[in-house]
Homo-oligomer: A and B are copies of this chain.
């Protein structure tokens, strides 16, 4: 399950992708536009900077911008940056030791198979694709 924190991270990245090439954008602007509690968002952005998905500039006129092209950032990148354990269907997918049946559990194989598919799908969804997909409904988007 994608947590709300990760959901916010995705929305923030999406907003910054929409305004890529417009220079640094402040956390306050993102918070208001995307309807995210400001202080909560600050901590999230800090993390995204630390994971090198964003670059920040301090001081007046400072703010955030994408560290890479929107084509080069996937949903998986964001999800993994926020939560190292990602979405994982079942914890045994990560640590099979948790399941005492792990040496012979057929469920494990099936879940891993699905998990691999999910990760591949998330990895294939770039911010650019999402932006493009939304651009057809430009009117609905919060304007700067």
Say if the beta carbon of A122 comes within 8 Å of chain B. yes
- Counted per complex, copies of this chain come to 2
Q: Is the beta-carbon distance between A104 and B7 smaller than 8 angstroms? A: no
Knowing A1-B1, A2-B90, A34-B101, the reply to whether A10 touches B107 (Cβ < 8 A) is yes
The contact of A106 among B92, B99, B106, B133, by CB within 8 Å, is: B133
The CA of A61 and the CA of B129, in the complex, are separated in Å by 60
Main secondary structure on chain A at its contact with chain B? helix
Digit string of A102-144 for contact with B (CB within 8 Å is 1, else 0)?
0111110111011001100110010001110110010011000
Chain B residues near A114 (CB-CB < 8 A): 118, 121-122
Q: Within the complex, what minimum Cβ distance (angstroms) separates A121 from chain B?
A: 5
Interface size class of A (residues with CB under 8 A): 35 or more
Closest to A139 in B: B104
Chain B residues near A130 (CB-CB < 8 A): 106-107, 110
Tell which of A103, A113, A130, A141 has the most Cβ of chain B within 10 Å.
A130
Q: Is the beta-carbon distance between B141 and A35 smaller than 8 angstroms? A: no
Chain B residues near A44 (CB-CB < 8 A): none
Contacts A7-B91, A89-B118, A106-B130 supplied; 4 other A-B pairs, CB < 8 Å: A4-B91, A7-B90, A14-B106, A110-B121
